[in-house]
């Protein structure tokens, strides 16, 4: 099948201008436009030097293929250990994940507990941890408002009388978010994704206890929560910085309609339509390809072991800077998943030839937004990762999760048959 080309009637990009016989460097053409104060327009002949409103931004010119340097402050009190940092250079500093250690500027005081909803076992564990933090650690325990109305907490007379009044809600009566120094997750991978949705900028350090159905992102056992939380308070654990994608739904005039940071993936699918999804993919302003299929998954390395893996993509370690582009049931069998550098900018545009004018994009499985030919999706790597506390180290935790949760390369060994006695009888 021949490679698809972008349609010339696309409202976001004007049609090609006639090419003069005298060839010149596209970069020089763009510079002349800037000098004359004219707005440079997208031209597919200019490849990576193509100009749009965003490409005119000076920050866009400094885009690094390895992605932006992550913000190394995590909430009010946590930050990356100074031993990891070196004096600023004029180039991007790649941190060795082995030396990404947690350090507190002062003792963490405000502890947010996020639990798996509608689970009585998790609710009992929350009560135990909350009592221990308040009585033994003199901490302020913060929960979501909906947790305070759960039956397991309300109808426990002792807890309701002694501990429940001491719990603070994440959002106070004035609509202001209370400060959070550390997040304790009780649940599975969905609980950690929920934490990411709550903190759409700086995220405090997260210690995740496995109490869900899978627990790929939750390396800690709740049976040892006291020693694990003590070691967290002492800063004895390392950090895995899980990158997020900054996803913006924009109008044709470049105004931002919605913006989300996603930990796993953003998905563009055909929605309720029965026809195939037909979208154009641009990388750094350059036309990449056209997708004809059920949809497209753009995932982080963390999300590579979720929906993206189910669609046939490779698993990527969370410390590898990259963006995974995975088609869902593509019309062309040669359209295989690829891993792109973390520093690129992706644009997903509904093709002008698409018969399905209302594909849907969702963000970590939430917030569905119906697309149109007058909107486009812009995706870059965010500077705000989710700092997850490592149980052993960033490599051991990941491979243990592959083995325990996904049973990676695990097979049952058959009993070896011996043909010795049979051969002797035959002789």
DSSP assignment string, 81-104: -GGG-----SSPPPPPGGG-BEEE
**Of 189, 228, 364, 397, catalytic:** 189
pLDDT of res. 25: 46
pLDDT at residue 144 above 80?
Answer: yes
**Pairing of the two strands 168-169 and 140-143:** parallel
In a domain, 180, yes or no: yes
The number of folded domains in the chain is 3
For the entire predicted model, the pTM comes to 0.78
* Bridge partner residues of 277 (DSSP): 293
Does residue 221 share a domain with residue 154?
yes
Judged on CB neighbours under 10 Å (0-12, 13-18, 19+), 361 is: buried
Q: What is the DSSP letter of 323?
A: E
The two structure tokens encoding residue 5: 């080309």
The two structure tokens encoding residue 211: 């109490």
The two structure tokens encoding residue 408: 């990676």
- Domain of 295 in residue numbering reads as 244-381
Closest CA to 206 of 397, 116, 104, 74: 74
Rounded CA separation 191/194 (Å): 5
Does residue 239 share a domain with residue 278?
no
The two structure tokens encoding residue 282: 């641009």
Does residue 152 share a domain with residue 140?
yes
The two structure tokens encoding residue 110: 């405000």
Q: Quick: pLDDT tens for 52-93.
A: 444 445 444 455 666 777 887 888 888 777 655 554 444 455
Rounded CA separation 41/39 (Å): 6
Q: Quick: pLDDT tens for 261-312.
A: 999 999 999 888 788 899 999 999 999 999 999 999 999 999 999 999 999 9
In a domain, 71, yes or no: no
Rounded CA separation 71/295 (Å): 32
In a domain, 348, yes or no: yes
Closest CA to 30 of 342, 282, 256, 285: 285
In a domain, 1, yes or no: no
* Bridge partner residues of 363 (DSSP): 266, 366
pLDDT of res. 55: 45
Judged on CB neighbours under 10 Å (0-12, 13-18, 19+), 283 is: middle
Domain boundary among 7, 35, 62: 62
Q: Quick: pLDDT tens for 351-405.
A: 888 887 788 999 999 999 999 888 999 999 999 999 999 999 888 889 999 988 8
Helix ranges, 302-392 (H): 307-310
Whether 224 is catalytic is no
In a domain, 411, yes or no: no
In a domain, 77, yes or no: no
pLDDT tier at 213 (50, 70, 90 boundaries)?
Answer: confident
Tokens 């105004």 correspond to: 255
Given a contact cutoff of 8 angstroms between Cβ atoms, the answer to whether 377 and 266 are in contact is: yes
Does residue 347 share a domain with residue 248?
yes
């Amino acid at each position: 099948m021949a490679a698809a080309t972008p349609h010339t009637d696309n409202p976001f990009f004007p049609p090609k201008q006639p090419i003069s016989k005298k060839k010149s460097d596209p970069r020089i053409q763009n510079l002349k436009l800037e000098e004359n104060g004219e707005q440079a327009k997208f031209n597919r002949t200019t490849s990576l030097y193509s100009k749009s409103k965003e490409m005119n931004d000076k920050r866009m010119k400094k885009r690094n293929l390895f992605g932006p340097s992550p913000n190394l402050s995590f909430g009010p009190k946590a930050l990356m250990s100074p031993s990891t940092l070196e004096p600023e250079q004029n180039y991007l500093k790649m941190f060795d994940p082995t030396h990404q250690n947690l350090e507190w500027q002062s003792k963490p005081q405000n502890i947010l507990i996020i639990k798996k909803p509608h689970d009585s076992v998790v609710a009992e564990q929350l009560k135990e941890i909350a009592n221990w933090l308040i009585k033994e650690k003199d901490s302020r325990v913060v929960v979501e408002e909906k947790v305070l109305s759960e039956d397991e907490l309300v109808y426990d007379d002792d807890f309701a009388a002694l501990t429940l009044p001491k719990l603070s809600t994440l959002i106070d009566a004035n609509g202001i978010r209370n400060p959070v120094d550390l997040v304790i997750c009780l649940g599975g991978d969905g609980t950690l994704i929920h934490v990411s949705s709550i903190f759409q900028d700086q995220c405090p350090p997260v210690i995740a206890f496995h109490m869900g159905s899978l627990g790929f992102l939750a390396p800690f056992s709740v049976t040892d929560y006291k020693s694990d939380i003590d070691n967290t308070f002492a800063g004895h654990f390392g950090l895995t910085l899980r990158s997020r994608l900054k996803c913006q739904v924009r109008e044709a005039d470049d105004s931002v309609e919605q913006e989300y940071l996603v930990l796993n993936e953003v998905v563009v699918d055909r929605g309720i339509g029965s026809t195939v999804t037909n979208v154009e993919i641009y990388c750094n302003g350059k036309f990449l390809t056209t997708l004809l299929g059920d949809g497209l998954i753009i995932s982080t390395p963390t999300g590579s072991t979720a929906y993206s893996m189910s669609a046939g993509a490779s698993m990527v370690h969370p410390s590898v800077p990259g963006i995974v582009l995975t088609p869902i049931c593509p019309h062309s069998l040669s359209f295989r998943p690829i891993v792109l550098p973390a520093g690129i900018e992706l644009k997903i545009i509904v093709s002008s030839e698409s018969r399905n004018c209302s594909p849907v994009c969702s963000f970590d499985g939430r917030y569905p937004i119906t697309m149109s030919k007058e909107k486009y999706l812009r995706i870059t790597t965010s500077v705000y990762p989710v700092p997850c506390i490592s149980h052993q180290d960033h490599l051991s935790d990941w491979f243990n999760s592959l083995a325990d949760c996904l049973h990676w390369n695990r097979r049952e060994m058959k009993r070896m048959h011996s043909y010795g006695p049979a051969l002797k009888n035959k002789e």
